[in-house]
């Protein structure tokens, strides 16, 4: 054979022994029982392999299910399975009310009763707090339920491509074409066929927001045009009203002279606090100028200029130049939780009270752990789940930390 200068490249694949062992389980079939749900909504089961107990996460499983599963993914320390057969269904299991549920990525818990969904959300929060803040004392108040299990969303975001309009499929970027959505407000759900008929089919994915506006009228628009649809507002009016009332009463009991509010949106909490405490001053920080513009118009109309200031800024820059309240800081960050800069500024300022509203329990637990490590003098005075998003694994948590 003619010699060439070519040297074969030998790739050393750095798989740990455990990793390669788990990969050997790909496509294998097992019978497991589901213990509980975890953050993200998957069921957690275990299987024994070479005398080791391995965790398997299974989407659309219910705690108590006995399932035949197939391993579809092997990570370093855990596996992912898909249900092949429900051998014995959990008591909480039910046929999903929505015909699209099996494929649609919009919901993750419709296969369980609402009371079981909520019990699992509480368990998820308890597990996280026990793990992240094992030495803290807390009492979880009974969860605030949604008045409506279905048709509660005042806005939804759908994707359109070709002639299809709907949510992405579970774990995919393909669109499930829908003609109704049972978690959306009935007026939104009933409008989906007419919206679809009005759209010009697009070769690439385009997003639309469909919503009931502040005049209680249905409207829809393409997201991305003039930043529309990128503004934040709470989606479940009845639960939001209860959340606002709870925040309002916590703040009333503190009765601060000055409040700092970070991630303020359009003033969902700021305006009710202003109305409840007629001498309190407040500085509310929000990144999205559309939201602060709305808030400034509203505060001017209400003649609150001397008491309420809206600052259009990212909270990270704000905390570097502005001074936070010593009495109360209200935090309502997006799913990622508070950034490191915000956390360290809040911990450094060490306010007497922190009211934290969170839509992601794992990031809430992380942030609470940071706060309590830096300032062990805080006590958890209030802790409650607000079930803002039935049929999905998401929920809001309200926490009051006080020195
Ligand atoms: C969960 S929402 C809460 C909004 C408001 N508190 C409410 O209840 O309607 C989080 C808000 O934080 C804003 N936001 C996200 N990142 C931010 C940042 N780095 N600095 C300031 N605001 C931010 C978003 O625009 C959004 O309005």
- 186-229 pLDDT tens trace: 999 999 999 999 999 999 999 999 999 989 999 999 997 555 55
pLDDT at 225: 58
* pLDDT, average across residues 148-166: 97
Question: Is 359 among the catalytic positions?
Answer: yes
Split at pLDDT 50, 70, 90, the class of 231 is low
- 73-89 pLDDT tens trace: 999 899 999 999 999 99
| Domains of the chain by start residue, with CATH | 17-88 (2.40.50.140), 116-147+235-402 (3.40.50.150), 155-227 (no CATH)
For residues 133 and 371, what is the distance between their CA atoms, to the nearest angstrom?
10
The rounded Å distance from CA 287 to ligand 1 centre is: 7
Over 70: is that where the pLDDT of 18 sits? no
* CB 185 near ligand 1, within 6 Å: no
Distance of CA 78 to the CA centre of its chain: 23
* CB 294 near ligand 1, within 6 Å: no
* CB 362 near ligand 1, within 6 Å: no
The rounded Å distance from CA 359 to ligand 1 centre is: 11
The rounded Å distance from CA 55 to ligand 1 centre is: 35
Closest by Cα among 98, 99, 65 to 83: 65
pTM: 0.93
Over 80: is that where the pLDDT of 4 sits? no
Closest by Cα among 319, 358, 326, 324 to 341: 319
For residues 71 and 80, what is the distance between their CA atoms, to the nearest angstrom?
6
Over 90: is that where the pLDDT of 59 sits? yes
pLDDT at 65: 98
* pLDDT, average across residues 51-80: 96
* CB 358 near ligand 1, within 6 Å: no
Over 50: is that where the pLDDT of 358 sits? yes
């Amino acid at each position: 054979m003619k010699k060439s200068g070519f040297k074969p490249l030998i790739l050393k694949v750095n798989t740990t022994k455990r990793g390669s062992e788990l990969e050997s389980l790909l496509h294998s079939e097992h019978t497991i029982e589901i213990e509980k749900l975890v953050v993200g909504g998957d069921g957690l089961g275990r299987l024994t392999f070479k005398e080791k107990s391995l965790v398997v996460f299974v989407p659309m499983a219910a705690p108590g299910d006995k399932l035949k599963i197939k391993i579809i993914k092997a990570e370093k320390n855990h596996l992912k399975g898909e249900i092949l057969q429900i051998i014995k269904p959990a008591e909480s299991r039910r046929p999903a009310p929505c015909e699209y549920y099996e494929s649609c990525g919009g919901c993750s818990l419709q296969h369980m009763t609402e009371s079981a969904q909520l019990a699992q959300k509480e368990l998820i929060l308890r597990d996280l707090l026990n793990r992240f803040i094992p030495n803290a004392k807390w009492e979880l108040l009974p969860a605030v339920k949604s008045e409506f299990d279905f048709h509660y969303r005042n806005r939804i975001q759908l994707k359109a491509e070709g002639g299809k309009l709907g949510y992405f499929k579970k774990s995919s970027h393909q669109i499930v074409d829908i003609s109704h959505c049972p978690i959306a407000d009935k007026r939104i759900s009933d409008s989906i066929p007419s919206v679809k008929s009005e759209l010009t089919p697009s070769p690439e994915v385009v997003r639309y927001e469909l919503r009931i506006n502040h005049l209680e009228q249905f409207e829809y628009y393409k997201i991305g045009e003039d930043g529309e649809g990128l503004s934040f507002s709470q989606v479940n009016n009845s639960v939001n009203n209860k959340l606002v009332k709870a925040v309002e009463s916590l703040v009333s009991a503190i009765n601060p002279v000055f409040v700092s509010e970070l991630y303020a949106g359009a003033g969902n909490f700021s305006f009710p606090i202003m109305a409840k405490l007629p001498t309190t001053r407040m500085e509310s920080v929000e990144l999205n100028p559309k939201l602060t513009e709305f808030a400034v118009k509203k505060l001017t109309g209400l003649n609150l200029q001397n008491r309420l200031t809206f600052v259009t800024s990212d909270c990270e820059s704000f905390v570097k130049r502005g001074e936070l309240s010593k009495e109360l800081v209200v935090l309502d960050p997006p799913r990622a939780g508070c950034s490191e800069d915000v956390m360290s500024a809040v911990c450094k300022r060490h306010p007497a009270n922190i009211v934290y509203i969170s839509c992601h329990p794992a990031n809430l637990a992380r942030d609470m752990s940071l706060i309590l490590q830096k300032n062990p003098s805080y006590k958890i005075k209030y802790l409650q789940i607000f079930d803002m998003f039935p049929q999905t694994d998401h929920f809001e948590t309200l926490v009051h930390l006080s020195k």
